[in-house]
Amino acid sequence: MARLPDVLRLLLPRSLAVVRCVCKLWRDIIDADALLLPHSVRGVFFNYVDHNRPHLFSRPTSSSTFPPVDGLLSFLPNDYEEINDWWTVLDHCNGLVLCNIDDESRLCVCNPATKRWLLICEADLGLYAHHVASLPYENGRQLDGSWMVEE
């Protein structure tokens, strides 16, 4: 049973909701690890010129049983101890956020609700590569995020 949460993380949200109904133990494991999160986080990301990280402005609900979302995305990697890396939000889709860091040199996909992230590109992409970067959206299918690593 110790590996059950790792196996459950591989399921799509719809399947996970069905599996949650199997027994109380499985429901408790899914709830304790926050494997099934709310569909969306309502808010707006702002990229400021003189701030090194985007800010999420949202109105938290008092009835929420989930921890607040880190609107500064401070869980993303930071290469410098004294100076924070400069992150910019480029796109978002189904709860995932696409960011670039240090003027197009790195692209990262993250889920602010789970604090999972993946560095998807680290190369010299050219001066305007960030203008064409976007997240895929396939006719309403939700990305499950099982490919993401937790750092």
Q: Is the pLDDT of residue 58 over 70?
A: no
Q: Is the pLDDT of residue 53 over 80?
A: no
Looking only at Cα atoms, what is the longest distance across the chain? Answer: 53
Strand partners, 141: 138
The confidence score (pLDDT) of residue 143 equals: 46
Same domain for 50 and 18: no
Counting the structural domains of the chain, the total is: 2
Within a domain: 18:
yes
The confidence score (pLDDT) of residue 70 equals: 72
In the chain, what percentage of residues exceed pLDDT 70?
A: 47
Task: Give dist(CA 137, CA 31) in Å, integer.
Answer: 27
Within a domain: 136:
no
Within a domain: 141:
no
pLDDT digits (tens, 9 = 90+) for 66-107: 566 777 777 877 665 544 566 778 887 777 888 887 655 678
Within a domain: 59:
yes
Q: Which of 120, 117, 142 is nearest to 129 (CA)?
A: 120
Is residue 94 within 8 A of residue 136, CB to CB? The reply is: no
pTM: 0.54
Q: How confident is the model at residue 139 (pLDDT cuts 50, 70, 90)?
A: very low
What is the three-state SS of the chain?
A: CCCHHHHHCCCCHHHHHHHCCCCHHHHHHHHHCCCCCCCCCCCEEECCCCCCCCEEECCCCCCCCCCCCCCCCCCCCCCCCCCCCCEEEEEEECCEEEEEECCCCEEEEEECCCCEEEEEEECCCCCCHHHCCCCCCECCECCCCCCCECC
Within a domain: 146:
no
Same domain for 66 and 5: no
Within a domain: 2:
yes
Same domain for 67 and 31: no
pLDDT digits (tens, 9 = 90+) for 109-122: 888 877 888 888 66
The range of the structural domain enclosing residue 102 comes to 44-131
Same domain for 1 and 24: yes
Same domain for 88 and 18: no
The confidence score (pLDDT) of residue 60 equals: 61
